[in-house]
Amino acid sequence: MLELRHVSKSFGQKQVLQEISLHVASGEFVSLIGPSGSGKSTLFNLIGGLLGPDAGEIYLNGEEITNKHGFISYMPQQASLFPWRTIIENVLLGQELQGKKDYELAEAMLERAGLGDVIHAYPHELSGGMKQRVAFIRALLSPQSLMLLDEPFSALDEFTRTDMQKWLLSIWEDYEQSILFITHSIDEALFLSDKIIILSVNPAEIKDVIEVPFIRPRDGDLLLSEEFLQWKKKIIDVIQF
Amino acid sequence: MKTSLLKKVWRPSLAILLFIGLWEVATRLFSIEEWLLPSPSDIVMEARNVIPTFLPHLGSTVTLSVSGFLIGTTVGLGVATILHLMPRVRETFFPFIIISQNMPIIVLAPLLVIWFGFNALPKLIIITLACFFPIAVSALGGFTQTNRELVHYMKMMGANKSQLFWKLELPHAVPSIFSGLKIAGTYSVMAAVVSEWLGAQKGIGVFMTLAASSYRTSRVFVAIIVAMVISLAFYGLILLLEKFFIRWQQKGENV
């Protein structure tokens, strides 16, 4: 579904991305992991069409989307909810931008996501974790079939984060959406994804791609299993190499 | 709720009462002539006599300032929008807008009468000139200070320029537009009174000049106080509207 072919990008003298080629299949959950400053956000801006690559092309469902926007759905690091809109109005924003609103679907989805009580509340009345849930539902409800998630849980505390990861899986597993997920937590990447892409820094290149073998649905016990720790060690070795 | 309001209000009320008391005592103690500085009690007496004849003047000024304020608001928001959406135009014309505020209105007023005559037009121009600036500046400030993260989200989602403006920048600027409206609201009454000095049949300004030229100083004070009350009422009305429009905002915190 999403394909990047030999994408490179520099800012002035500094090369940020070098020859990045990657692939996200339909319904696949792919994580991008790498140290800070490895150009992950730049990569997102390229896919979103906010920046143009110096070389290479980006395809979505076989169609070239290099330099074009409106083809992906996005969830930023900060929830970025609009404070003057109620939760339901916020959730409908992605659809609104593309033209058609489905109020009933949004309502049903909020109910299912455990946000039924706050449909008509304003964002400032919600906790950090709740806001991120709303932001995720907003991305999921947008009509685009690929979601980019930019470190969505990094601002949350440890307890909330684990809850959020489980919650995200439980919601996402019912939908067809593909996800490209930026994180710098190895645990998070392993727990959530089908595939992990490890990036190096200065300039970012793809170091390795790891297929995660755990079956779905996954639960919290997985995080403490022997197998999980072995995979974690494997990834650390790749990063440090 | 009521007790907290009382708590807030008693200090300034006491200060005002004290001030009025001192004024009263001072005028009596030093036996200051009424035409020089009338005592508060003189002003109240005068007000009682004069209010019935005063009402048509009041209506005229209120109408004038409200219409001037509405035109000024429209112009201010329009100017801010154009300057925001077209950066080139902004660079070219922003200095003119600043200059428009450096012209002393009192000097400009007679010129406007020469050009447009003694009708409502020059008066409305004066009020508009006084009102549009605070609104334009505050709206422009609100537009440019739009939260970067929200802008980034909108762009990533493929929002076009008009969606960005109507769905994000404009609602984001509402609180700051309201601070401009509050200033413009008080200016509008002042500007209306000044514009009536130029020559009008009715209005607080007319009443004021007549009273001043015949040394009926207590009458001037009545006019001043009435203008103040109108101005305050305006302010209160805008405050109420503000409460209604930004009820989503948490106290003491933005976004």
Alpha-carbon gap: B5 to the closest alpha carbon of chain A (Å): 25
Judge: A84–B174 Cβ closer than 8 Å, yes or no: yes
- pLDDT of A104-134, one tens digit each? 999 999 998 889 999 999 999 999 889 999 9
Nearest-Cα residue of chain A relative to residue B171? A84
Q: Which of A150-159, B55-64, B65-74 has the highest mean pLDDT?
A: B65-74
Of A74, A98, A124, the CB nearest to B156: A74
Alpha-carbon gap: A124 to the closest alpha carbon of chain B (Å): 7
Of B149, B172, B253, the CB nearest to A76: B149
Mark out the alpha helices in A1-78 (DSSP H runs): 40-48
The residue behind tokens 């009690």 is: B41
- pLDDT of A73-95, one tens digit each? 999 999 999 999 999 999 999 99
ipTM: 0.91
Nearest-Cα residue of chain A relative to residue B255? A83
pLDDT value, residue B2? 59
pLDDT value, residue B255? 40
User: What percentage of residues in chain B have a pLDDT greater than 90?
Assistant: 67
Q: Which residues of A touch B (CB under 8 A)?
A: 44-45, 48-50, 69-74, 76, 78, 80, 82-85, 93-94, 96-98, 122, 124-125, 142, 148
Say which range, A32-41, A156-165, B141-150, B185-194, has the weakest mean pLDDT.
Answer: A32-41
Cβ contacts (< 8 Å) between B147 and chain A: which residues?
80
- The mean pLDDT value for A184-208 works out to 90
Tell me which DSSP letter residue A62 carries.
Answer: T
Provide Rg for chain B, Cα atoms: 22
Angstrom CA distances, A226 to A43, A76, A214, A229, A237, stand at 33, 33, 12, 5, 17
Q: What does the DSSP assignment read for chain B?
A: -HHHHHHHHHHHHHHHHHHHHHHHHHHHHTT--TTTS--HHHHHHHHHHHHHHHHHHHHHHHHHHHHHHHHHHHHHHHHHHHHHH-HHHHHHHHHHHHHHHHS-HHHHHHHHHHHH-SSHHHHHHHHHHHHHHHHHHHHHHHHHT--HHHHHHHHHTT--HHHIIIIIIHHHHHHHHHHHHHHHHHHHHHHHHHHHHT--SSSHHHHHHHHHHTT-HHHHHHHHHHHHHHHHHHHHHHHHHHHHHTTTSPTT---
Q: How confident is the model at residue A175 (pLDDT cuts 50, 70, 90)?
A: confident
Of B163, B167, B255, the CB nearest to A83: B255
Alpha-carbon gap: A82 to the closest alpha carbon of chain B (Å): 8
CATH superfamily, with its number, for domain A1-72+146-153+177-241: P-loop containing nucleotide triphosphate hydrolases (3.40.50.300)
User: What percentage of residues in chain B have a pLDDT greater than 70?
Assistant: 96
Cβ contacts (< 8 Å) between B169 and chain A: which residues?
none
Q: If you average pLDDT over every residue of chain A, what do you get?
A: 90
